[in-house]
Structure 1
Amino acid sequence: MIAPKSLVLAVLVATTAAHPAAAQSAPAAGDPARGAKVYESNCTGCHAPDANGVGPAHRGVFGRKAGSAPGFAYSPGLKKAKFAWDAARLDKWLTSPQAFIPGAKMGFRLADAQRRADVIAYLKKESGK
């Protein structure tokens, strides 16, 4: 027997009320100030806002075509990418660069969703978006 929609809805509401985290599938909005701190402590070993290093320069990355920072030697996968960096793509990239673009040179992952959202907000701000 299939439960009536009202019963299913009641169970869903009760479950969500009992477990508020279940209602949140996405992190809270990113905070660029927190993102600057996360960037400083996790990203600056390889990246800088205005200069290529082990990784490409990041100022302007938000909205920039992937694999197109001047003077940086990208992996073939990033060179062939046909998209511009946005919040969703940066989130996938920071979650697992290798899964998002096989053969990517970047091995670092930022596992925490809130910290990713904060770094993305920082990169967006630094890109003037």
Structure 2
Amino acid sequence: MKKTIARIAIAFAVAVGGVVATSGTASAYGTGDCTYSKQRTASGSGDTVILQVWRCPDGHDYVKGIISGSASASHARVWLDDSINGGSSWTARQYTTNSSRSTQTPQNDLLYDGSPHKVRACGDTSGHRTICSAWY
């Protein structure tokens, strides 16, 4: 029963075009058959945040957030923001931390399926100001 409800919830979210956490191994991204499509980058205080978009044969786009801090940085945090109103408000998803100066969101867990949703990567290190990529 729980699996059926979870599948219905995922199917509904995909149908309305949302950002959905998937189970990973079932996604096309997890098979390695996806091609790199787009990248959005932002920098500040020696840190760089990258949003990567991967186009997959299943017809979906998958996104990943990456942060790389300056040589003296530590305690990296990166997450993906999801907005349905052009960025006026958003929900943070896929929040990832690491004690080193760089980290990334899970590579096969975030499905991004377009309008009206927009997604961006945000992050910071060692108390630096948060920086975000442009919305995609």
TM-score (norm 2): 0.29
Q: Which has the higher helix share?
A: 1
More strand by share: 2
TM-score, normalised via structure 1 length:
0.30
Which gives a bigger RCO, structure 1 or 2 (Cα 8 Å, sep 6+)?
Answer: 1
